[in-house]
Amino acid sequence: MRLFVTRRLTVLLFLCGLWVMPALGQSCAMCYATARATPKDAQKALNRAIFVMLFPPLGIMGAGVGFAFRYGKKRDLENSQEERCE
């Protein structure tokens, strides 16, 4: 059962990624031209800066989802123990 849920989640994330792909082509033409005109070292620095700015929000959201799942499992375990006692 756990493998089935993991596969479903993986497929769902993949499909969401494909759904967003057209939006990647809608970036600002002026920003693109300016970034393209910079030397290769500056382009690499821009790419690194984008990734560095991306990690904190992803980390915070990942931690929030992790805490939510942990709380849900704990709550379900407590509820099942209460049902057994009754």
Same domain, 51 and 84: yes
The total of structural domains in the chain comes to 2
Same domain, 52 and 11: no
Same domain, 73 and 43: yes
Same domain, 51 and 83: yes
Range of the domain at 9: 1-37
Q: Which value, to the nearest 10 degrees, does the dihedral of the CA atoms of residues 43, 45, 49, 51 take?
A: 70
Same domain, 14 and 48: no
Question: Mind listing the pLDDT tens digit for each residue in 6-51?
Answer: 888 899 888 887 776 655 555 677 777 888 888 999 889 988 888 8
The tokens of 62 are what?
Answer: 């990942």
Same domain, 21 and 52: no
What pLDDT is stored for residue 61 in this prediction?
94
Residue 85 pLDDT exceeds 70: yes
Same domain, 44 and 84: yes
Same domain, 58 and 68: yes
Same domain, 24 and 47: no
Residues 40 and 47: beta-carbon distance below 8 Å:
no
